């Protein structure tokens, strides 16, 4: 198992390294305003606006084809949008060519130059900035230190493992002290264990450098683990921008609710600001934003529990027939039929004394009023 503690804390890199490689004082906010990019009839970016704070780790999360990579490429300067504005701090950068934008970027396939060694790859952006040979050597050494690759400077790129390439790509993207760091699904090529380790490393590097970071992924777990805030994108539109926990607990659109986490849906009827589930009233915290009568109740397996007794003041309850219990190691998942053809799942922590009701028995499910999320289906809004 990879030793995560060794690579996550700022303790490994001394303060001198931090101040030397850091772009902290140069971290800039990003203001994207009314960005539109079309390919024929297709809107890759449909009037996208987002403000990313200085030093923030912002993740663009969405399914493939949602426009998240297009947005990143617009920031990097590789895609020319139809209209809109992108500002780094107060400077409009949309008209700058990519090589004048001073952005670090980690590509999906790393894009390391195969005809150069690791050290030459790292030195390349410094050479382009006419930095002296001695200083280049020093900074390359420090950058190699930063990503724990001190001994591998002379290696050829092709002699590196996936994780090592990943580290070199990271180091190359920050060695010239860019004001902004962009990452395009940088971990997607790694296997699961390494990916999880690198998530910590990338986040730790961000914290050490304090650099404004825009990270693109389609992996919701990665997004939830790493980000300060997540922008969920679908069909060229930003659906919601929020910190991970809020995004998970309070999805604002039907798409966000179904894209993040495991969700089950039950139809609810909303009238005059109160909701009822199969004719039975349920307690809600806030009045649903939409005033359509037919809406959807979003339930997550881990928010539910199989209840004994009547609901307490702050709970909602529904009854159903337990169909099956599935053992998943850390938990049991019970599938429950509700009102004939609706199915929802309940997750119960695995403890050795867990006893679940037998399949076929009638059970009552409870969830907190504050976890009650009711949304209208988008296409009908």
Contact set with another protein (CB under 8 A): 76-78, 97-105, 107-109, 111-116, 124-125, 128-129, 156-158, 172, 176
Euclidean distance between the first and final Cα of the chain, in Å?
A: 48
Closest to another protein by CB, 75 vs 232, is 75
- Please answer whether residues 260 and 232 qualify as being in contact, where contact means their C-beta atoms are separated by less than 8 angstroms: yes
H or E stretch including 39?
Answer: strand 30-39
Closest to another protein by CB, 140 vs 296, is 140
Closest to another protein by CB, 115 vs 351, is 115
Closest to another protein by CB, 114 vs 309, is 114
Q: Measured from the CB of residue 203, what is the shortest distance to another protein in angstroms?
A: 22
Residues in the chain: 381
- Please answer whether residues 230 and 244 qualify as being in contact, where contact means their C-beta atoms are separated by less than 8 angstroms: yes
Q: Measured from the CB of residue 164, what is the shortest distance to another protein in angstroms?
A: 16
Q: Measured from the CB of residue 325, what is the shortest distance to another protein in angstroms?
A: 44
Q: Mark 60-98 as b/e (b = at least 16 C-beta within 10 Å).
A: bbbeeebbbbbbbbbbbbebebeebebbbeeeebbeeee
Q: Measured from the CB of residue 108, what is the shortest distance to another protein in angstroms?
A: 8
Q: Which two tokens stand for residue 109?
A: 């396939």
Closest to another protein by CB, 158 vs 328, is 158
Closest to another protein by CB, 99 vs 192, is 99
- Please answer whether residues 209 and 24 qualify as being in contact, where contact means their C-beta atoms are separated by less than 8 angstroms: yes
Q: Measured from the CB of residue 204, what is the shortest distance to another protein in angstroms?
A: 23
Four-residue CA torsion sign, 17, 20, 25, 28: negative
Distance between CA atoms of residues 28 and 33, nearest Å: 16
Closest to another protein by CB, 103 vs 247, is 103
- Please answer whether residues 80 and 22 qualify as being in contact, where contact means their C-beta atoms are separated by less than 8 angstroms: no
Closest to another protein by CB, 79 vs 356, is 79
Q: Measured from the CB of residue 178, what is the shortest distance to another protein in angstroms?
A: 9
Distance between CA atoms of residues 282 and 290, nearest Å: 17
Cα angle 85, 86, 88; round to 5: 145
Q: Measured from the CB of residue 76, what is the shortest distance to another protein in angstroms?
A: 6
Q: Measured from the CB of residue 161, what is the shortest distance to another protein in angstroms?
A: 15
């Amino acid at each position: 198992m990879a030793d995560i503690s060794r690579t996550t804390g700022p303790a490994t890199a001394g303060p001198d390294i931090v101040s030397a490689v850091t772009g902290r004082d140069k971290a800039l906010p990003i203001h994207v305003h009314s960005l539109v990019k079309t390919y024929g009839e297709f809107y890759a970016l449909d009037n996208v606006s987002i403000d990313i704070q200085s030093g923030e780790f912002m993740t663009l999360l969405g399914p493939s084809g949602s426009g998240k990579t297009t947005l990143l490429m617009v920031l990097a300067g590789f895609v020319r949008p139809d209209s809109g504005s992108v500002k780094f701090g107060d400077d409009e950068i949309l008209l700058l060519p990519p090589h004048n934008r001073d952005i670090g970027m980690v590509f999906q396939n790393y894009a390391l130059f195969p005809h150069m060694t690791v050290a030459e790859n790292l030195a390349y952006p410094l050479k382009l900035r006419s930095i002296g040979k001695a200083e280049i050597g020093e900074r390359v050494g420090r950058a190699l230190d930063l990503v724990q690759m001190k001994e591998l400077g002379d290696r050829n790129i092709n002699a590196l493992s996936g994780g090592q390439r990943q580290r070199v790509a990271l180091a190359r993207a920050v060695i010239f002290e860019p004001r902004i760091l962009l990452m395009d699904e940088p971990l997607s090529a790694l296997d699961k264990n390494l990916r999880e380790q690198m998530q910590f490393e990338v986040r730790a590097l961000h914290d050490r450098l304090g650099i404004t970071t825009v990270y693109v992924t389609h992996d919701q777990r990665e997004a939830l683990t790493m980000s300060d805030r997540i922008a969920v994108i679908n069909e060229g539109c930003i659906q919601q921008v929020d910190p991970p926990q809020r995004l998970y607990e309070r999805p604002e659109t039907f798409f966000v609710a179904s894209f993040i986490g495991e969700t089950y849906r039950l139809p609810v009827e909303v009238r005059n600001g109160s909701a009822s589930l199969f004719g039975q009233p349920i307690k809600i915290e806030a009045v649903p934003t939409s005033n359509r009568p037919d809406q959807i109740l979003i339930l997550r397996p881990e928010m539910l529990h199989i209840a004994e007794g009547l609901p307490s003041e702050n709970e909602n309850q529904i009854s159903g027939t337990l169909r099956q219990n599935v053992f998943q190691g850390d938990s049991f998942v019970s599938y429950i039929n509700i009102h004939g053809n609706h199915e929802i799942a309940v997750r119960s922590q695995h403890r050795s004394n867990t006893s679940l009701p037998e399949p076929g028995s009638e059970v009552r499910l409870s969830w907190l009023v504050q976890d009650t999320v009711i949304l209208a289906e988008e296409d009908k809004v």
